A and B are shown apart, each in its own frame.
Chain A
Amino acid sequence: MTISHFGAVLLFSLFTSIVFGITQRSEPRMMIRFGAFCFVLFVGGTIAASWVMWLIKH
């Protein structure tokens, strides 16, 4: 199996956010909100870190 780096980020973020959402909140509505928040934070954080690394290199 081959996967792109960004694909790996998306999969990792998706599955991790699902488990975080379920385990860290009590109400179903809050679970979905927290899961979505984690997903955005994971993906956004990775993109931000990538740009920081690009800026350091250039």
Chain B
Amino acid sequence: MATNVSAQARAQSSSFPTMVLISGWLIPGAGHLMQRKWIRGGLIMASILAMFTIGLALKGKVYTPNTGDLLDILNFAGDLGNGLLYVLARLFDLGQVTVQVATADYGTKFMVVAGLLNIISAVDAHSLATGRKRS
């Protein structure tokens, strides 16, 4: 009951859901952690971090902004979903090698999917913050 009341109070504060959405995008799992969903936030953070790290370790490609092939643009959009992880990878010049083996292509897909999952998680955290999702 008390949890519901505090969730409603937070939902009424107009900036909180937006903050949750942006934090959840920038740092995987942060949106859930901000709402004291420790286990969910931790699992999401661990899953997305692991997928992104494995993708890099497999020598996957990190996409840069481009106006070329439609699939390249979509892959870039997926990568962008990783938030700060993407920024860090670009800053440290990671994932810039040419894909030469099948497992490297898997790495590329791991990172793109990690970004897409992170977007789903951030939207889920936003739904929790607005009260649209019950718990």
Give the distance in Å from the alpha carbon of A2 to the alpha carbon of B54 in the complex. 10
B→A interface (CB under 8 Å) = 32, 40, 43-44, 47-48, 50-51, 54, 57-59, 102-103, 106, 109-110, 113-114, 117, 120-121, 123-124, 133-135
Judge whether B135 and A1 touch: CB under 8 Å: no
Q: Is the contact region of chain A dominated by helix, strand, or loop, or is it mixed?
A: helix
Q: Is the interface of B mostly helix, strand, loop or mixed?
A: helix
A8 CB to closest chain B CB (Å) equals 5
A-B contact pairs, 12 of them (CB 8 A): A8-B58, A8-B103, A8-B106, A14-B47, A15-B50, A16-B51, A18-B47, A19-B121, A22-B32, A23-B121, A26-B133, A26-B135
A1-B59, A5-B103, A8-B58 known; 20 new pairs, CB 8 Å cut-off, are A3-B58, A3-B106, A5-B102, A8-B103, A11-B50, A12-B109, A12-B113, A15-B48, A15-B117, A16-B47, A16-B51, A18-B44, A19-B44, A19-B47, A19-B121, A22-B40, A22-B43, A22-B44, A23-B121, A26-B135
